[in-house]
């Protein structure tokens, strides 16, 4: 029997670091009977919250990788992806958002909407993810859910409205008033598992009535029936309210706000009800795949179990059970033992085991269908691959993947560490497309690159812990790029014919700037002046030359190499000879093509009390930053700027001392830009000296 | 290619990038229809002026202000765009949008040069006050972050602020060496009040404080930009510029 998709929710829990996402997930799992005891994130019991399955996450108290887990609330199946809150890991957040249908935006009732929430919100908007908000930590000193709701409206431009009122706040936070049922709810029992409904405390009745009216007025926009009932002044059926909230939420025009304290076990069950009632099921959302057989034409996936299978691998994990591949099914059914196709590689893959993940425990299942998020065992693939049934050539649309901006050298301490490091790097690069690695042929060092210092730190730690690869890490370096700015011709002959078998190859053509992409090779050879078998050798030679530019040793990108003439020798020409000829040709033309150095520019947002605004802008200005603008919110100011990454090292310390620790900043990659002349000269000088000292 | 406005013909302002560099950039400046307002010469003489763009809601005041700002930036001035009740992102998009309509394939260098001449300051509607603006402006100037020559204030509440507030702003201009401030104001169809020069409410009682007043005037299928007041104009008040209704670019006099 086909599964009723209206009872499936694929949701993410996404928010600012330290707003309590992991604790909230832990409580959700507890109330849905997935776990039987509650552990804290930084738990004294040494067990740690369920979702932080990686050791490192337990130690740091932060969630690094999004673990997928399954829970069932009343008659609804909920797949939860716990997502990291630090901006360095946004690829994880973005991947999670790609496979989700809805999300809970968790906010701290004290900290409110912080810059990271703005980034996450922007990402959710990019993937059109409907969301509900949960204002957590209402038991904390300074808790103010009304202020946070106002911030959602002001800072994130969400049409947010409180659906509940707190009964007491801070240390006296006792329960909530539900503005739909107009009842007070208290959470009894050791872990808040028993909900007790009472009449609204008399002193809150008027406030609750006012808030309900305002809320009804707001949501009546989404239901004509509700609006009519309101105008007629009749009794309002709660179903009408639920439908209107759901419709507003799905159209991204309304964000219902719920409150509670995960730590104090308050407000979680109503939140789960809201997930079931207001967040979309897989059929409420239209997802698109690309038809590889028809020029990548976009088509909507059907969610129909009878259609051919389409399934996206959105996450790989190498754990104690071997390689796990998390997949989301969009249409069709996959049964254990079946064979599917990887549409990127074209290879057949047999699915031996199928499991439903529950943090780091698993449950064997026989099949999965549309909307399911499950894990496959022992499948060799990369993150982002699409699996389909035989005869269907489709791929889920590609994901937005930013270029790495920072790199550092990692040196294994011994041979064993060397072997383990290779294994680890191989795994990480498959798991995370923003994490890259290569060997610098001049120094022999292994270089890793990624989206920020913390991003790389985490992988170094994982190498040590998960792979026992003890490595020494060098200082972080900005990932500069070199590129050319004009066309330049080459005509180069590589010739070594001094006795014995010689080497001969001549290539001629030109290099020119490539607008988009890293490298392109164009073969315009006519009449076989370079034999066909040596054309790939030329391409290979150019590619090798791209690894290191002559200005500052950075990788070269944005080059089109065109060959249109050449010569060969019947005996002395070889693959190697043409590779070397192409390298010589590249050297010859590169300097004539006016190469320049490009640097990563970050979009930086600094948020803090307005009194420090001048100082903050001054500090960004000093760092070659370009102030884009400021957002004045009364006592708070957000300064937005574009600043070169190379100038941002140590900025957190500067900002702390400038603002007495009252301001915070986030940054994300914006673009690559040419470095100014003075900086370029400095980089070239440094590189020359470095080469001299080798 | 160059298909641009000229005082006699009247094609709209669109120019290729080759022309934006060197002489081309000069051309773009000199051929800009905004020249007729004559404000820039006065600014160079050290004179300070206030400008006002009025229209009913949703007719494109911001598009006109952005063209005025871009013209000023192209002439080498720094512009602080104060957007009340608007986001940085949207305001920035408006600039990019108008610039792409004005110039085909803008190169990175010119774009970055122009962006450095502009800063956006956004205020929540209920947060903006003259005192706060003054504080922020002084901060910017003292910290040597940005010293604007021209201020664009989009979304100023003329209903809630009277003559004194405007005079205070004029004084602030003098203090901080700002040569021109342009405002936008919303007029209402149902409010028939006007000044002697025809400046609609709510600015009809303070129109003498403005050197230039422009009103967007939609008529049948054309959009007109009426010059109601113009202290240093090369043209008579009452002259009309045309707006391209799809791009809101200023076309001709």
The CATH number of whichever domain residue B48 belongs to comes to 3.40.50.300
pLDDT at A249: 92
Domain count across chain B: 1
| ipTM of the complex, rounded to two decimals | 0.79
Residue A55 pLDDT > 60: no
In the predicted model, is pLDDT for residue B30 greater than 70? no
Q: Which residues of A touch B142 (CB under 8 A)?
A: 614
Contact B124 A634 (CB under 8 A): yes
Write the burial class of residue B135 (CB in 10 Å: 0-12 exposed, 13-18 middle, 19+ buried).
Answer: middle
Burial letters B153-173, b for 16+ CB under 10 A, else e: bbbbebeebeeeebeebeebb
Q: Do the domain assignments include residue B111?
A: yes
Interface test with A, best of B139, B141, B147, B153 (most A CBs within 10 A): B139
Contact B119 A618 (CB under 8 A): no
Contacts of B127 in chain A (CB under 8 A): 632-634
pTM of the model as a whole: 0.62
User: Domain for residue B2, yes or no?
Assistant: no
Question: Is the CB of B124 less than 8 angstroms away from the CB of A632?
Answer: yes
Joined together, the tokens standing for residue A611 give 């009194």
pLDDT(B4) > 50: no
- Mean pLDDT for A207-211 is 89
Which chain B residues have a beta carbon less than 8 Å from that of A630?
88, 119-122, 136
Residue B5, pLDDT above cutoff 70: no
What mean pLDDT is predicted for residues B216-232?
83
**Which are the contacts of A27, defined by CB distance < 8 A and separation ≥ 6?**
A38, A262, A265, A268
A531 sits in the region (left: phi over 0; alpha: psi -120 to 50; else beta) called beta
Mean pLDDT of the residues in chain B? 79
Measured between alpha carbons, how far is B18 from B71 in angstroms, rounded to an integer?
18
Write out the residue range of the structural domain in which residue B114 sits.
9-252
What is the nearest CA distance from B183 to chain A, expressed in angstroms?
A: 19
Is A486 at the interface with chain B, CB within 8 A? Answer: no
* Residue A509 or residue B45, greater confidence: A509
Mean of pLDDT over chain A = 83
Residue B2 pLDDT: 35
Give the DSSP letter of residue B194: B
Residues in contact with A301: Cβ distance below 8 Å, sequence separation at least 6, in sequence order: A287, A288, A289, A310, A330, A331
Higher pLDDT, A26 or B120: B120
Residue B126, in any domain of the structure: yes
Which chain A residue lies closest to B125 (C-alpha atoms)? A633
pLDDT greater at residue A554 or residue A440: A554
Q: How confident is the model at residue A534 (pLDDT cuts 50, 70, 90)?
A: very high
pLDDT, greater one: A359 or A494: A494
pLDDT greater than 80 at residue B65: yes
B114 found inside a domain: yes
For B129, nearest residue in chain A (alpha carbons): A634
Is A565 strand, coil or helix? strand
Q: Which of A353-362, A424-433, A474-483, A495-504 has the lowest mean pLDDT?
A: A353-362
Q: Kindly tell me if the per-residue pLDDT of A509 is higher than 90.
A: yes
Sign of CA dihedral B89, B95, B96, B101: positive
Query: At B9, is the pLDDT very low, low, confident or very high (cuts 50, 70, 90)?
Result: very low
Q: Give a yes or no: residue B183 inside a domain.
A: yes
Instruction: Please indicate, yes or no, if residue B1 is contained in any of the structural domains.
Output: no
Instruction: Using only the alpha carbons of chain B, give its radius of gyration.
Output: 17
Average pLDDT on A629-645 reads 87
Q: Looking at residue A60, what is its pLDDT?
A: 47
CB neighbourhood size of B126 (10 A): 11
Portion 577-636 of A in contact with B at CB < 8 A:
613-615, 617-618, 621, 626-634
Average of per-residue pLDDT across A500-516: 88
* CB-based contacts of B146, cutoff 8 Å, min separation 6: A617, A627, B78, B80, B119, B140
The least confident of A358-372, A464-478, A677-691, B35-49 is B35-49
* pLDDT greater than 90 at residue A170: no
- Please state which of the ranges A275-279, A292-296, A482-486, B184-188 shows the lowest mean pLDDT: A292-296
Q: What's the pLDDT tens digit per position in A56-87?
A: 455 544 444 445 778 888 888 888 876 655 54
Whether B38 contacts B234, CB under 8 Å: yes
Q: Distance between the two ends of chain A, CA-based, in angstroms?
A: 70
Q: How many CB pairs under 8 A join A and B?
A: 64
Mean pLDDT of A31-42: 60
Q: CA–CA distance from A525 to each of A493, A542, A562, A569 (Å)?
A: 16, 16, 9, 16
Q: What is the pLDDT of residues A354-398, one digit of tens each?
A: 888 765 567 888 888 888 888 888 888 877 788 998 888 888 765
Is position B237 within any domain? Answer: yes
- pLDDT tens per residue, range A246-287: 999 998 889 999 999 888 888 888 999 999 889 998 888 888
Is there a contact between A617 and B123 if contact means CB atoms under 8 Å apart? no
Per the listing, tokens 């389409």 go with: A310
Q: What is the pLDDT of residue A521?
A: 94
- CA distances A685 to A278, A282, A552, A689, A690, Å, are 60, 57, 8, 6, 9
Interface residue of A121, A485, A632 to substitute, partner B, most B CBs within 10 Å: A632
The per-residue pLDDT for A655 is 86
Q: In terms of CA atoms, which chain A residue is nearest residue B91?
A: A629
pLDDT single digits (tens) A587-616: 999 999 999 999 989 888 888 888 888 889
Mean pLDDT for the stretch of residues A435-442: 80
Residue B39 has pLDDT above 70, yes or no: no
């Amino acid at each position: 029997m086909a599964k009723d998709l209206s009872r499936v929710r694929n949701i993410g829990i996404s928010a600012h670091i330290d707003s309590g996402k992991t604790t909230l997930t832990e409580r959700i799992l507890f109330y849905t009977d997935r776990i039987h005891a509650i552990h804290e994130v930084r738990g004294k019991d040494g067990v740690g919250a369920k979702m932080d399955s990686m050791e490192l996450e337990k130690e740091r108290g932060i969630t690094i990788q999004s673990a997928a887990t399954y829970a069932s609330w009343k008659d609804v199946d909920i797949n939860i992806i716990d997502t990291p809150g630090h901006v360095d890991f946004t690829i994880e957040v973005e991947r999670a958002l790609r496979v989700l249908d809805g999300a809970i935006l968790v906010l701290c009732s004290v900290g409110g909407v912080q810059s990271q929430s703005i980034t996450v919100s922007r990402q959710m908007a990019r993937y059109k993810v409907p969301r509900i908000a949960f204002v957590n930590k209402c038991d904390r000193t300074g808790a103010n859910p009304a202020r946070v709701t106002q911030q959602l409206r002001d800072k994130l431009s969400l049409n947010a409205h409180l659906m509940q009122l707190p009964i007491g706040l801070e240390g006296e936070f006792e329960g909530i008033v539900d503005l739909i049922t107009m009842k007070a709810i208290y959470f009894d029992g050791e872990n808040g598992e028993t909900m007790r409904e009472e009449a609204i405390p008399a002193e809150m009745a008027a406030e609750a009535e006012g808030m309900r009216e305002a809320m009804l007025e707001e949501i009546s926009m989404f239901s004509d029936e509700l609006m009519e009932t309101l105008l007629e002044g009749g009794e309002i059926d709660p179903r009408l309210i639920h439908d209107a909230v759901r419709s507003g939420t799905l159209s991204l025009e309304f964000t219902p706000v719920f409150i509670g304290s995960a730590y104090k076990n308050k407000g979680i069950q109503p939140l789960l009800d809201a997930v079931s009632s207001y967040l979309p099921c897989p059929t409420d959302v239209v997802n698109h795949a690309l038809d590889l057989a028809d020029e990548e034409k976009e088509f909507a996936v059907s969610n129909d179990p009878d259609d051919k299978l389409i399934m996206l691998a959105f996450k790989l994990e190498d754990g104690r059970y071997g390689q796990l591949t998390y997949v989301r099914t969009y249409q069709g059914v996959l049964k254990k033992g079946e064979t599917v196709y990887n549409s990127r590689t074209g290879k057949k893959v047999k699915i031996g085991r199928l499991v439903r993940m529950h943090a780091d425990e698993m449950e064997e299942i026989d099949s999965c269908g549309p909307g399911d998020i499950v894990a496959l065992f022992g499948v060799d693939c990369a993150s982002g691959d699409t699996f389909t049934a035989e005869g269907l050539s489709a791929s889920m649309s590609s994901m937005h993947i930013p270029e790495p901006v920072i790199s550092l050298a990692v040196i294994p301490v011994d041979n064993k560490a060397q072997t383990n490091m290779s294994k680890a790097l191989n795994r990480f690069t498959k798991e995370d497309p923003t994490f890259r690695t290569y060997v610098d042929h001049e120094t022999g060092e292994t270089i890793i690159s990624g989206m920020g210092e913390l991003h790389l730190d985490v992988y170094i730690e994982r190498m040590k812990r998960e792979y026992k690869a003890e490595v020494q890490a060098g200082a972080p370096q900005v990932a500069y790029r070199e590129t050319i700015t004009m066309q330049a011709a080459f005509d180069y002959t590589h010739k070594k014919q001094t006795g014995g078998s010689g080497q001969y190859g001549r290539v001629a053509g030109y290099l020119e700037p490539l607008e988009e992409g890293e490298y392109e090779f164009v073969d315009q050879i006519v009449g076989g002046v370079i034999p066909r078998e040596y054309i790939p050798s030329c391409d290979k030679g150019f590619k090798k030359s791209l690894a290191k530019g002559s200005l500052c040793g950075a990788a070269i990108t944005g080059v089109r190499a065109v060959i249109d003439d050449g010569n060969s020798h019947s005996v002395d020409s070889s693959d190697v000879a043409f590779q070397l000829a192409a390298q010589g040709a590249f050297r010859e033309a590169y300097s004539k093509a006016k190469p320049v150095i490009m640097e990563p520019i970050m979009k930086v947002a600094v948020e803090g009390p307005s009194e420090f605004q001048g100082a903050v802008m001054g500090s960004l200005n000093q760092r070659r930053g370009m102030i884009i603008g400021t957002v004045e919110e009364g006592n708070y100011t957000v300064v937005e700027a574009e600043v070169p990454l190379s100038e941002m090292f140590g900025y957190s310390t500067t900002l702390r001392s400038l603002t007495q620790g009252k301001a915070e900043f986030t940054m994300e990659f914006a673009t690559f830009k040419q470095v100014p002349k003075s900086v370029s000269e400095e980089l070239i000088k440094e590189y020359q000296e470095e080469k001299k000292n080798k | 290619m160059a298909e641009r406005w000229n005082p006699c013909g009247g094609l709209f302002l669109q120019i290729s990038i080759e022309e934006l560099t060197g002489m081309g950039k000069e051309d773009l400046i000199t051929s800009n229809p905004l020249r007729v307002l004559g404000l820039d010469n006065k600014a160079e003489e050290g004179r300070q002026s206030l400008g006002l763009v009025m229209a009913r809601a949703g007719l494109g005041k911001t598009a006109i202000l952005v063209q005025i700002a871009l013209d000023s930036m192209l002439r080498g001035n720094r512009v602080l765009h104060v957007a009340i009740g608007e986001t940085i992102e949207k305001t920035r998009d408006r600039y990019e949008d108008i610039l792409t309509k004005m110039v085909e394939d803008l190169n990175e260098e010119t774009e970055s040069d122009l962006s450095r001449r502009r800063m956006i300051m956004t205020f929540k509607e209920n947060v903006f006050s003259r005192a706060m603006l003054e504080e922020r402006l002084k901060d910017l100037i003292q910290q040597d972050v940005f010293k604007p020559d021209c201020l664009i204030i989009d979304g100023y509440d003329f209903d809630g602020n009277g003559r004194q507030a405007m005079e205070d702003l004029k004084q602030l201009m003098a203090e901080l060496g700002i040569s021109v401030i342009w405002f936008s104001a919303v007029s209402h169809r149902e409010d028939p009040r006007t000044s002697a020069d025809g400046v609609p409410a709510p600015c009809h009682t303070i129109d003498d404080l403005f050197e230039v007043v422009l009103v967007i005037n939609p008529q049948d299928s054309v959009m007109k930009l009426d010059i109601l007041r113009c202290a240093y104009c090369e043209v008579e008040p009452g002259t009309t510029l045309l707006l391209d209704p799809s791009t809101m670019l200023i076309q001709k006099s």
